[in-house]
Structure 1
């Protein structure tokens, strides 16, 4: 290079992505353009613009490669996102199913809460019952202790009871004796009162011997007015008592066959013992003399003292009534 010559300007060509700068080597004579004579300022500007253009193309190439990588990464990320979206959809369906399960679980929990409330109420009731039972057990325990104390006292109580039983037996005996004495005294008092009225007493019966004579029917009416009947005779001892108190006088007794189709019977309703009574008739009696002797009397002072006579005859009579204890 000589001072008299100007530096050559840089030239470049762009073929697609290939950039060529020249002169790297001196062009051939055929390719060498005609030398231009430009000012150095223009060459500098062109050189700067060339550098800018080269830089821009390089940057575009780099950016293009980077964009291609970025797009590839974006596609991959998009595919990953699609997979995640699918997973999210699946998880959403699962969440929906889980929601149904949660609703059912919530209902079940509510039921469990109700059951727990009921169980709590029952537990409270059971606790109250247990408290009552405990109180009852305590009372029973105290009662059992008292029973044990009483059991310990049983032997002594038995001895006292035996003594009391003996005393009760004695008291019962005394009470029975007193009752018998009282009964006997009342009976004696009753008998004395009846004796004072003219009645005799024999084996639980009162007997009244009249002092006036009446027909058999009138005598029966008199006895009825005294709450009695003409006397019946039911035993040998009673027969002996009657003929002795008669003292040989004739007295009507309550034996008749009037209105009974010829059969003898007692007017007070006592059953007539024909076999026994056959021993009390005077031998040969009853003979129904004149076919008009339908009533009987005591005629003799002996066991065989009965005689049949007319009921219209008038004799003394004997009334009889049972002894009835007076009220205490």
Structure 2
């Protein structure tokens, strides 16, 4: 009996320390406490009689209480562990919430992209329909390609013919121009031979005076570069004396052509009269044509007066703007053509 208050006091303290979930278990202990108090009021005789029974009952009850206390302690430990896990899980739940928000934002962006893609697909489908409707025209064009190629080949061949005709017309035009130039020069007493014009004078002059006359006609005293040209000159001379454009500087000088053509000394040997040039009187520094033969060249004094032959290379020229001649023909020729200018002079 003396231990009963202590036991009850310990149970009361234990009861207050336990969680609310354990109070139901300890309710039974309170009921036992009430029963013990009630028994204490029983007459002393009953108490003494039942003391032994109560002792054993209390001891059993204390043993049960200890067992239950240990179980409750284990449950409290489990609850503490669960509380810690719950606290940790709260942080994870918060992080998961943020991730959910991010995923939600990503889904919104994906939905927006999907809508744009759907719009693009619709536009592509519309364009595809337009292209499909154009295939028929493309097929028609493809069917026309062989014919177009044939037409193109014909056009190319025709173009080639046109270019050939143009070149032919240009050649014809050049021939007409050349003939016109030649006719103009021939009408003034010039002869045409292999790309050059030759003028045979009707009056005699010294060699230097003859060269000045030729220069005034855009020409020089004639040079000779071939047998055919030598033959033309001596046939033109007809046995008369004609100055040519061959001269030398001083008694020991070298022969040269006044039109700056290269003098071929070896070739020239067969054109001199045998024994010429002999530089008679040490004063024969100019050459003339003396004989009507291939070997017709002679040296003579430059101060003598002979007939002379001018030579002018053919240069294509623009035709005079006013042809046939009119009242202002001379003025237009002076402005537009060197060849026409030669027509204004009467050869010496």
TM bracket, shorter-chain basis:
0.5 to 0.7
Q: Is the 8 A contact 2:251 2:285 kept in 1?
A: no
Matched, 1:18 2:9: no
Matched, 1:285 2:276: yes
Distance 1:109 1:283, change over 3 A: farther
Q: In terms of mean alpha carbon deviation, does 282-291 or 105-114 score higher?
A: 105-114
Partner of 1:258: 249
Q: Is the 8 A contact 1:258 1:295 kept in 2?
A: no
Matched, 1:188 2:179: yes
Matched, 1:301 2:331: no
Structure 2 unmatched ranges of 5 or more? 1-41, 320-348
Q: In terms of mean alpha carbon deviation, does 239-248 or 260-269 score higher?
A: 260-269
Q: How many residues end up aligned between the 2 structures?
A: 275
Equivalent position SS for 1:286: coil
Equivalent position SS for 2:278: coil
Write the deviation string for residues 141-164 of structure 1: whole angstroms up to 9, x where unpaired: 889876654553344334434443
Partner of 1:90: 81
Write the deviation string for residues 158-210 of structure 1: whole angstroms up to 9, x where unpaired: 44344434434443343333222111111111112222333322111122333
Matched, 1:232 2:232: no
User: How much has 1:297 moved relative to structure 2?
Assistant: 1.3
Structure 1 unmatched ranges of 5 or more? 1-11, 20-56
User: How much has 1:75 moved relative to structure 2?
Assistant: 6.3
What's the TM-score once normalised by structure 2's chain length?
Answer: 0.60
What is the CA–CA distance in structure 2 between the aligned matches of 1:126 and 1:216, rounded to whole Å? 101
What's the TM-score once normalised by structure 1's chain length?
Answer: 0.63
What is the CA–CA distance in structure 2 between the aligned matches of 1:243 and 1:135, rounded to whole Å? 94
Distance 1:278 1:154, change over 3 A: farther
| Higher helix content, 1 or 2 | 2
Write the deviation string for residues 185-241 of structure 1: whole angstroms up to 9, x where unpaired: 111111122223333221111223333433323333333333222211111121222
Partner of 2:308: 317
What is the CA–CA distance in structure 1 between the aligned matches of 2:236 and 2:119, rounded to whole Å? 91
